[in-house]
Amino acid sequence: MLESVDDIDALLVESAAVMRDVASRERVLFLDYDSTREDYTTLFSDARDQRMELQGKLLAAHLDFKSHATPEEWEMLSIAQANAVSIRIGDLLGQALESD
């Protein structure tokens, strides 16, 4: 179960890095007056593909975490997991904003 928690955390960190990279690449395009609609379409398509892949991995890690608990345990753990993930995402967002 702890391995699943570590996997989820690593995937959240990776997701934040992907979004930070996409925002950086978007800024470059925005400042480049020669950027085309196709440049933006490619960027957003790549970002969507990366996010979809990470979402699939996050779902798999979440289901793995859940599979180690009984229904009664899961009833208690689900709230704790949701809170922990929300806090971690908030921390990652704060770090991203500080670095800009």
pLDDT band at 100 (very low <50, low <70, confident <90, very high): low
Residues 43 and 29 sit within 8 Å (Cβ to Cβ): yes
> Is residue 35 within a helix (H) or strand (E), and if so which, with residue range?
none
| Structural domain spans, the chain | 2-99
pLDDT digits (tens, 9 = 90+) for 29-60: 999 999 999 999 999 999 999 999 999 999 99
Q: Are 13 and 92 in contact (CB under 8 A)?
A: yes
Among 95, 83, 82, 100, which residue's Cα sits nearest to residue 13? 95
Percent of the chain with pLDDT strictly greater than 70: 99
pLDDT, one tens digit per residue, over 58-72 is 999 999 999 999 999
